[in-house]
Amino acid sequence: MSLLDGRVAVVTGGSSGIGRGIARGFAEHGAAAVVVADVREEPKEGGPPTHEAIEAETDASAAFVDCDVTERADLENAVDAAEAFGGVDVMVNNAGIWHGEAFLDVTEAEYQRMMDINLKGAYFGSQVAAARMVENGDGGSIINVSSIAGLFGNGDWPTYSASKGGLTTLTYSLAHGLGEHGIRVNAIHPGGVETMIGGEPEDPEAAAEGAEQFTRMVPLGRYGQPEDIAGAATFLASDLAGYVTGESLVVDGGWTSWR
């Protein structure tokens, strides 16, 4: 039997990067269907849309739903789309944004946008999915993609750190509140993942030097890949994690082990 045999998953921000890796990983490990919920269908890194790649390369069914996670109605549409495949079993709140900033320069609009996407989106994504899981009566798994910045903060990312710190404690709160319904809620905390770095740097030489400095701090000596996060998500979605809830799983190559 496959790890996710028969399960139906919804992955927000599933078109690109970590979300694409998770969606494809679920399909490769036996999920019956994956709903890719995102504001864009085409992956930022190129290649076919995630739902098309899943159906071409695996036995899973897949669908794309246009979803802005700051709109509760869009989240409802994404979870509704899972009904065509039997109903949501796994909800991955992955959609998010990141950028560095100087704390004293942050505007209200910049702050609100970060919170709306990174925290509000996960809050109501969890709410919508949990309501359906409770209604179906079969339990389920909610996975929030947080960050190592949600555990210790970073002076260069104050708003991002605040949003991910909120997501971390939201995870713990939901694990306590939803356990009686058999719903497990956990968080993954990625470190430096290569697909988050961005496009072509303005100064390739400086970028290469920065990458070398970073990887020297990582015991495994490399940036993370979406597949690394997908492996952790697959574990948390599976019966192997049947007694795991309210936990933070750090996936950073050992970067924070010295803290």
Report, as residue numbers or ranges, the catalytic residues: 147, 160, 164
CA–CA gap between residue 58 and residue 236 (Å, rounded):
21
Buried/exposed code over 72-90 (b: 16+ C-beta within 10 A; e: otherwise): bebbbbbbbbbeebebbbb
Give, as one character, the DSSP assignment of residue 213: H
Number of Cβ atoms within 10 Å of the Cβ of 4:
25
For residues 215 and 152, the answer to whether their CB atoms sit within 8 Å is no
Angle made by CA atoms 225, 75, 77, in degrees to the nearest 5: 115
Q: Which helix or strand (DSSP H or E) is residue 27 part of?
A: helix 17-28
Of the candidates 90, 34, 37, the residue with the CA atom closest to the CA atom of residue 68: 37
CA–CA gap between residue 212 and residue 191 (Å, rounded):
15
Burial environment of residue 16 by CB neighbours within 10 A (0 to 12, 13 to 18, 19 or more): buried
Q: How far is CA 70 from CA 63, 76, 124, 166, in A?
A: 20, 11, 9, 16
